[in-house]
Amino acid sequence: MEILNLNCKLINFIHHLKERCGLDFKECVELMDGGGKVMDLEAKQQSVALASSVLTERQHYFLLRVCREDDAAGQKYVSLLNPCRHPEITGDKPAGLYIKKGHLSCWSTLTYN
């Protein structure tokens, strides 16, 4: 878990998420709230607006990787949760295939692999 600052530009915020998760900077990440709503960070990767314009303090978010499907026009979201570290959230299902509605302590903290 990590404390993150929402009073920074989205471009820097997203860059920091990728860096902390060990992702290539060309990859896309998303956040999903506890109700299942994707926050659409992908469209805002170059934005200089504050992260607080999209995200709410003390809310719960899941960190996701955006995967493009070669044979489909759509995209797939893969959870970056480590199921071994967070069985209370993922249950016994592998992360990336199943996201159980639950909570993560994000903003003030974020959980990822």
Divide the 113 residues of the chain into consecutive groups of 10 and give the mean pLDDT of each group: 78 89 86 86 90 86 80 72 50 35 32 42
Q: What is the pLDDT of residue 60?
A: 75
Distances (CA, A) of 46 to 11, 37, 51: 5, 21, 12
Q: What is the pLDDT of residue 100?
A: 29
Q: What is the pLDDT of residue 86?
A: 45
Three-state secondary-structure class, residue 82: coil
Give domain status of residue 30, yes or no.
yes
Distances (CA, A) of 41 to 2, 9, 76, 83, 87: 19, 12, 14, 24, 26
Give domain status of residue 109, yes or no.
no
Q: What is the pLDDT of residue 111?
A: 41
pTM: 0.67
Give domain status of residue 99, yes or no.
no
Q: What is the pLDDT of residue 14?
A: 92
State the Cα–Cα distance between residues 113 and 78, nearest whole angstrom.
12
Q: Determine the structural domain holding residue 73 and report its residue range.
A: 10-80
